[in-house]
Amino acid sequence: MRRGPAGRGRRGGGSVDHREESSAGSDRPADAGMTAVVDPVTEPFAAVRPDPASAASAGVEPRADAGLGTWTFTDAMVGLGAVLLASAVISAGVQIAVDSGLPRGPWLPLFGLLPVWIGLLGTTVWACRRHGSGSLVTDLGLRVRWSDLAVGVGMAIAGRIVAALIAVLVVGVTRQPAESNLQDLVGPGLGQTGWLIVYTVAIAVVGPIIEEVFFRGLALRSALASLSRSQRPRFATPAARQRFAALLTAGLFAALHLPEVQSLTMLLILMPSLFFFGWMVARWTMWSGRLGGAIVAHIGFNAVAAGVLLWSGLGR
């Protein structure tokens, strides 16, 4: 890949001085309706901002400052905090109700999923309306290309291979059997076709899409934006900011699943596996500028786990 001339912005005071650059300077042209504002080779995920004319034709009105410079990682942290708080409150309420005699039913795990989905997606939509055009497609690269399918499947396989290797290592050291963090979630619905379908779709489709929109969309973009305004020498280059943003968002992604951990063995398997997966899809998202590959990978990653549970009959 060759590098062409790139128009770079001056960061300072929360604003960016944008200069349009031609897509001819890169082997990866900017998407239609987007204007490049930084070098798409060294900082591809931040290389586009809404083009006013294109956005207007799509029925949205982007802010004049809708570029990377106005986004802040605080938005992602507020959303994640709200999700964890809501989950804790609802889980406590459900547990009290069950202890008081409420019968356990296959619908019960939904009370653990809904606050997470609503919190993550709601925060993302709010942040896009506050800092961008309000369109997840325009602001966060929520697009899928045919090439994303192949790449996504490859990343899903890679993620599962790494998870399997970690599981073998941990089980060999702890002498404890491996457990799935999804076992309790799908357990109540395994004997009923309707609920089986509901939880399979929730695990393999709905959850991955919402989590990728938040972590590889809002959180990753916001982390890059905040780092771009940092005065620390360690974040002076786009490559350094990308490395740190990928590690940071991967850690947050793994942390979101901490409430699912039920044993030390599960902790030692689940956390590094999710961290690696989060780091891998973050790197691809920043390179491609799209969420499509990450979404496909996450769907495949979760679908394998759900399929293993169904095949082995765990949770019956």
State pLDDT tens for residues 226-247: 898 888 899 988 899 999 999 9
Return all residues near 183 (Cβ < 8 A) that are at least 6 apart: 309, 314, 315
Secondary structure of 87-146 in HEC code, one letter for each residue: HHHHHHHHHHHHHCCCCCCCCCCHHHHHHHHHHHHHHHHHHHHHHCCCCHHHHHCCCCCH
Residues 289, 273 contacting (CB under 8 angstroms):
no
Is 129 part of a structural domain of the chain?
yes
Domain that holds residue 197: 11-312
For the chain, the domain total comes to 1
Residue 66 domain-assigned (yes or no): yes
- Per the domain annotation, does 26 fall within a domain? yes
Q: What pLDDT was estimated at residue 209? A: 96
The answer as to whether 125 is a domain residue is: yes
The model's pLDDT over 24-71, given as tens digits with 9 standing for 90+, comes to 334 444 444 433 334 333 344 443 344 444 445 545 444 333 345 578
Q: Would residue 234 count as lying in a domain?
A: yes
d(CA 124, CA 217): 8
Is the residue at 159 inside a domain? yes
Is 251 or 91 the better-scoring residue by pLDDT?
251
Q: Give Cα separations from 81 to 108, 123, 155, 255 (angstroms).
A: 23, 10, 29, 11
Residue 5 located in a structural domain: no
In-domain check, residue 36: yes
Tokens read off for 180 = 């799935």
DSSP per-residue codes, 275-310:
HHHHHHHHHHHHHHS-SHHHHHHHHHHHHHHHHHHH
* pLDDT over 90 at 114, yes or no: no
